[in-house]
Amino acid sequence: MKILHVVRQFYPMIGGMENYVYLLSIHQIASGDEVTVLTLDRNFMTNEKLPSSGLHDGIQIIRIPYLGINKYPIAFSAIRFVKGYDIVHIHGVDFFVDYLAFTRFLHRQRIILHTHGGFFHTRWGYWFKKIFFNTVTRVTVNLTDRVIAISNNDYKPFAGLTKKIVQIENGIHYDQYQSPKSVKKGTLLTVGRIDIHKRIDLLIKVTLTLIDRGHDVTLRIVGPDWKKMQSDLEKLIPKDKKDKIIFTGPVDDAQLLQEYVHAEVFLSASEYEGFGLTAVEAMASGTPVVLNNIDSFRVFLENKDFGSIAEFKDVEATATKIENFITLDQNKYRLVSGQAREYASNYSWKTIEKRIREVYLNVLNK
């Protein structure tokens, strides 16, 4: 099968959506498919100009110029590159899907839209987004062949626009996270870029509360600081506790694995997640999780013992939920650790790639 993935940013940029497209692509190549990624020719964060083409781990990359802002980059030349594929798989709800859906009468390609959280990650421009979603996006999604919602959080709003929707959660390299746990007592971990909606400030406050309660804990914040928020966040930390809140910056895969191996509890206070990839990675590594009370996270932890849902704005109550895990004896911790790993196996890439292939074949047969 010849597959074209269309996504705003791709290698060498690294982020949630970029990583998803990369992992899906290499698993499709392993299954015998020919995979190309169509993307933009600049790094949004550095404005670095990138080569017009490339090859990465067997994935052909085509990069095209664009106009406008990063939130809605306009690239009219995209239509020149979509012909000749069995499936055009668009990731993200942005210009690419609007443009290629409305010009479908010209290129006549089969289009899959992957929601990846839509565009309601922040409150910025909320009412404009709402109007756009219920007008332009409503038409767009019904011009595609199938919509794949990446979480229940996505499924609910998009199901109100179209019946051509299926929910397939994110996938992880499950085997990659099966190293034995070697917990460094009191290590709390969060992973992901530093952003406003991630509420790193609340994680810091919860950690300081645990310290005030007499617990020897350290919070490790792993991820890039593209928006230069770290200096303001550091102002929340008293001088005598600076060594208890560690900003590691971005790390490579090997170091990330070690972060999960050593973590006693994984935390996320995020106010919005399209899926919650890092939470599933933590579970796969055998790490109990305490997650904010949002739709994407509630799905993971309904009637589960290996994690808790918390209202992170209620710092004291959240600290108590974390205490429930950092005070477990070794046998009980080993039990919940195994339960977390078992649950995360449902999100292995072998399973996810197979389900996406079934969507492709259904569209092609239709």
3-state secondary structure 123-190: CCCHHHHHHHHHHHHHHHHHCCCEEEECCHHHHHHHHCCCCCEEECCCCECHHHHCCCCCCCCCEEEE
**pLDDT value, residue 71:** 84
347 closest CA partner among 181, 175, 118, 158? 175
Contact 244/229 with Cβ under 8 angstroms? no
DSSP three-state, residue 227:
coil
**Tokens 């332009």 map to which residue?**
136
Note whether 2-171+348-365 and 174-346 share their fold. yes
Contact 221/190 with Cβ under 8 angstroms? yes
What 8-state DSSP symbol labels residue 85? -
Cα separation, 9 vs 38, whole angstroms: 9
**pLDDT value, residue 121:** 54
With a CB cutoff of 8 Å and minimum separation 6, the contacts of 350 are 27
Cα separation, 297 vs 211, whole angstroms: 26
- pLDDT < 70: residue spans in the chain: 119-126
**Tokens 């020719």 map to which residue?**
41
Contact 308/279 with Cβ under 8 angstroms? no
Contact 180/323 with Cβ under 8 angstroms? no
Query: Is the domain covering 2-171+348-365 a CATH 3.40.50.2000 domain?
Result: yes
Q: What does the domain layout of the chain look like in residue ranges?
A: 2-171+348-365, 174-346
Amino acid in position 255? Q
Contact 85/109 with Cβ under 8 angstroms? yes
**pLDDT value, residue 115:** 92
**pLDDT value, residue 277:** 86
Cα separation, 55 vs 35, whole angstroms: 11
With a CB cutoff of 8 Å and minimum separation 6, the contacts of 161 are 133, 134, 137, 138, 141, 142
Torsion angles phi and psi, residue 112, rounded to 5: -110, 130
CATH class of 174-346: alpha beta
